[in-house]
Amino acid sequence: MDLSDPKPNKARQTGRKRKGRGVGAGQGKTGGRGQNGQKQRFSIKRGFEGGQTPLYRRIPKLRGQTNKAQNIGIFRKEYAVLNVSQLNRFAEGSEVTPQVLLESGLVAKLRDGIKILSDGELEHKLTVKAHAFSKSAREKIEAAGGTVEVIGW
């Protein structure tokens, strides 16, 4: 088979089964539903668990989007995070801003801002401007002789 010799799909050519049209038709009498029982008599609604309280009624409700609703709150910020050790690629004394981080490829998207976390060590002094810093990240940058500046939108 190649692209110059297409043939129709055999599965698409077969017609639908006409169930319940007599014993001679092959799918007559019970129509493929078996002998007895609930599934043979009528359709069961989706989610029915045999009288047990179904899953969609057992789980707790989250009505609307509030600040308490399992960390999907309306005031939640989603930062693009960066570790202190990743800042070592910049030259000593340079200024690291969100725009510089985007251009260097350390951050793919700004999201709600940049947050600097404290994993690793900083080897030289830098001026770091970001939207948020962890307490220990701030201490590490200042211990290396750098400065920290919190910026807003």
pLDDT (tens, 9 = 90+) of the chain, 153 residues, equals 678 888 888 777 888 888 889 988 888 888 888 888 888 887 888 888 989 999 888 888 766 666 665 556 677 788 999 999 999 999 999 999 999 999 999 999 998 999 999 999 999 999 999 999 999 999 999 999 999 999 986
Edge-first strand order for the sheet with 114-117 is 80-83, 114-117, 132-133
The confidence score (pLDDT) of residue 68 equals: 64
**Domain containing 144 — which CATH number?**
3.100.10.10
In a domain, 106, yes or no: yes
Q: Would you call 2 helix, strand, or coil by DSSP?
A: coil
Cβ neighbours, 10 Å, residue 116: 25
Contact 91, 123 (CB under 8 A): no
Query: Which residues are CB-neighbours of 23 under 8 A, at least 6 positions away?
Result: 29
Distance CA 42, CA 39 (A): 6
Tell whether 55 is covered by a domain.
Answer: no
If one counts the domains in the chain, the total is: 1
Asked if residue 84 belongs to a domain, the reply is: yes
Instruction: Give the other-Cβ count within 10 Å of 13's Cβ.
Output: 7
What's the gap between Cα 151 and its chain centre? 28
Query: Which residues, 6 or more positions from 99, have their beta carbon under 8 angstroms from its beta carbon?
Result: none
Please check whether residue 52 lies inside any domain of the structure: no
Domain of 105, in residue numbers? 80-150
Pick the closest to residue 95 from 66, 129, 64 (CA basis): 129
Q: What is the pTM of this model?
A: 0.56
Strands (E) in 19-146, as ranges, are 80-83, 95-96, 114-117, 127-130, 132-133
**Predicted local confidence at residue 43, as pLDDT:** 81
